[in-house]
Chains A and B, each alone.
Chain A
């Protein structure tokens, strides 16, 4: 059965609070019952003593009773009936009580509530005269109001204690959960720092509590498998690069030597030159594909040199200045002073791809702007044009290799340019975003986190 995946913290808190309430509640119930019983037992004992004393008194002072005398028994309320059930004598309080039914012998105490809400415990005992003859019934009453109050107060206190226990349990649960979940948070944090360039990193099993060792070991094993797979790909890539470029090199060298050989005709040179150009196009394509296949990208080391961003943008602008002027497109830089630790070659490559794209799609009279600005925790680099724009359905797919909107294929355009830009952004820990409106222009932004 699959449990809904809520918050572990919430569940723990609820479970803690419930069990604390249950435990404290049960304990309160037992304590209440015990108090009640012991109070009752104590009362019974006191009344029993009083009854014994009264019975003894009645046995000796019965005549006095009949004469309307009052046997003195402190702190007791009493009523004496004769055999016919007539009241012979009673204490002042008892006089306010209605006639009481004579219970069967040995019956337990009965509770009587007065009109003003006071509760009395009443017992009845048969009494005998001095001569040993049955005299009638003796009633003894005991005020239990203060006990009731005590019990009520006790119960309120208990209820408060139960509530407090639940609250404390919830708080403790919160702390315990946070404390118990801290190693998990650490696992998340540490695995979060592992990317394709740091696949040799592992979690240290010894740092984590025993219950999490299995998780850590499993994660480490998965990382080891990933690393091995990446290394295989790297090796394969290096071999592939070698296997592809070596014959291309031989071809290129032969063609170059022939093209430069004295005595070859103009027609021959032109034909050889055409082949050399094809060689270079193929070399560029192999570079791009290997770059995207990660085969040509080092697994560990990227240069992390401080790059002056306005300077970099100026350099890129300088490279395309002549092309932009020829195309009748204004090429500008909007940059606030700023620096970024990164790989200059990679960033240059990304910006070159973006500007070349922008110039290709911007008509005469338009403009292309390179920009940079710092935002919270990141640096933005963008290239914006007033070109033809990209249809919205294409935007999410750009950045994938060999994907480009249908248009007459311009020279060398294989749809790898933006894919390479996206890859470079990812290699620098960032991302590429495209905003475009058909007929108005496009803005491609690289967001590179500050390290």
Chain B
């Protein structure tokens, strides 16, 4: 996937770019809206990540111009203002998604994958296996070592997200959005408790642990032998 980052803050842009690169996304940085406009219109990029506040041509104006010329390239807005109105404006200008700073780069990657998938639907596998855990997506059935694990709807949603991204780190914010449909600051304790309870059902009875916390970042589902 090729991504155009439109961001005037050099440091911010570089970190985002290397974060995307680590996740296997190729990215180019344009520091102004004026420079981004011909690049975005070239059809080379699968998605745009656009800062709302840019000197000169603002992020909003850039996307409006693109949409005005019939360019449907998926856009994620990034904003340091983080208020409700800014978000509305971003979506009205033709943005597909919106993230408030400070964002998690993992979250940007996840959202980029989502909006690009929206354009080019990918076939999700009906059955996923990680170690002795088997997920039958069609029947909403998760088993470990042949035993069905009974999950509440929220636990199931959390587990499904981790399984879809097996082996990859899932940001906490991504998890909160997938399980509760919420964005922004939420009670951290409630999220921790939800993860704890899932772990109890999925990992506690088994020697090989699957759900691992990456402190400050998120969760990853992968088999790890006990230390």
The total of chain B residues at the interface (CB under 8 A) is 42
B15 touches A276 (CB 8 A): no
Please name all residues of chain B whose beta carbon is closer than 8 Å to the beta carbon of A319 when the two chains form the complex: 180, 182, 186-187, 190
B217 touches A260 (CB 8 A): yes
Chain A nearest CB from B8 CB (Å) reads 10
Please name all residues of chain B whose beta carbon is closer than 8 Å to the beta carbon of A246 when the two chains form the complex: 9, 12, 80, 101
Q: Which of B101, B102, B187, B216 contacts A274 (CB 8 A)?
A: B216
Q: Mark B62-97, 1 if CB is under 8 A from A, else 0.
A: 000000000000000000111111101000000000
A280 touches B105 (CB 8 A): no
A277 at the interface (CB under 8 A from B): yes
Q: Indicate whether A241 sits within 8 Å of B217 (C-beta atoms), given known contacts A256-B104, A319-B190.
A: no
B31 at the interface (CB under 8 A from A): no
Q: Indicate whether A318 sits within 8 Å of B154 (C-beta atoms), given known contacts A249-B80, A249-B103.
A: yes
Considering the complex, give the chain A residue whose CB is closest to the CB of B86: A298
The 9 closest A-B pairs by CB, nearest first: A273-B215, A276-B216, A298-B85, A253-B15, A273-B216, A245-B80, A249-B102, A242-B80, A284-B185
CA distance A348 to B180 in the complex (A): 12
What are 28 A-B residue pairs whose CB atoms fall within 8 Å in the complex?
A: A238-B81, A242-B81, A249-B102, A250-B11, A250-B12, A253-B16, A256-B106, A256-B217, A260-B217, A261-B22, A272-B216, A273-B217, A274-B216, A283-B185, A287-B184, A288-B185, A296-B82, A303-B84, A303-B88, A315-B180, A319-B180, A319-B182, A322-B154, A323-B189, A323-B193, A345-B84, A356-B189, A411-B188
Please name all residues of chain B whose beta carbon is closer than 8 Å to the beta carbon of A276 when the two chains form the complex: 215-217
Please name all residues of chain B whose beta carbon is closer than 8 Å to the beta carbon of A346 when the two chains form the complex: 84
B190 touches A323 (CB 8 A): yes
**Which positions 228-278 of chain A face chain B at CB distance < 8 Å?**
238, 241-242, 245-246, 248-257, 259-261, 269-270, 272-277
- Seen from chain B, the residues whose Cβ lies within 8 Å of a Cβ on chain A are 9, 11-12, 15-16, 18-19, 22, 53, 80-86, 88, 101-106, 154, 169, 180, 182, 184-190, 193-194, 196-197, 214-217
CA distance A346 to B85 in the complex (A): 12
CA distance A315 to B186 in the complex (A): 13
Q: Mark A317-354, 1 if CB is under 8 A from B, else 0.
A: 01111110010000000000000000101101100100
